A = this chain, B = another copy of it.
Amino acid sequence: MPSPRSADELLRLDNQLCFAVYSTSLAMTKLYQPHLARLRLTYPQYLAMLALWESDGPMVSELGARLSLDSGTLTPLLKRLEATGYVERRRAIDDERRVHIHLTAAGRKLKARAAQVPECLLAASQCSISELTALTRELQALRDRLRAA
């Protein structure tokens, strides 16, 4: 007896954790978009800036490890952030393969305005902080298990 559930139950869209994650991620992006547009950022660009505000000057590969994005995604994204004026891409002198990403003055200054974004969305979500924190931890745990699998 292979499975206790029917194929229909197993394949029902509303039973899929993967679709719940996927559609929540799309809904999240749409909610952030108008707020981020005022900062001249896309959603993945915003995540990159969050990482840089925490730790300035990483190599592209280090930033990629933090965001789990590869160079094929990050290279054009970072070039656009550079074009907007928020970061600078500097090749290391001791190892010319490396490119380090540094915040510009405008990029550092943006942090204050960006702090209003999570505050604003916190209010919009209609959830308590503890609720959101708990869900965040659950998802991080799931993500880490998926990566290990």
Interchain CB contact under 8 A, B136 and A17: yes
| Contacts A25-B21, A50-B11 given; does A16 touch B146 at CB 8 Å | no
Residues of B within 8 A of A26 (CB): 68-69
Residue of B nearest to A18 (CB): B28
* A-B contact list, 23 entries, CB within 8 Å: A7-B112, A10-B115, A11-B50, A11-B53, A11-B54, A11-B114, A11-B118, A13-B66, A15-B136, A18-B47, A20-B135, A20-B139, A21-B24, A23-B67, A24-B139, A24-B142, A27-B68, A31-B146, A121-B149, A124-B146, A126-B145, A126-B149, A135-B139
Give every chain B residue within 8 A of A18 (Cβ-Cβ). Answer: 28, 32, 43, 47, 121
Chain B residues whose C-beta falls within 8 Å of the C-beta of A50 in the assembled complex: 11-13, 16, 19
Footprint of B on A, CB under 8 Å? 2-3, 7, 10-32, 43, 47, 50-51, 53-54, 66-69, 111-112, 114-115, 118-119, 121, 124-127, 132-133, 135-136, 138-140, 142-143, 145-147, 149
Copies of this chain present in the complex amount to 2
Q: Is the interface of A mostly helix, strand, loop or mixed?
A: helix
Task: Tell me the nearest residue of chain B to A67, going by C-beta.
Answer: B23
By a CB distance below 8 angstroms, the chain B residues around A119 are 2-3, 10
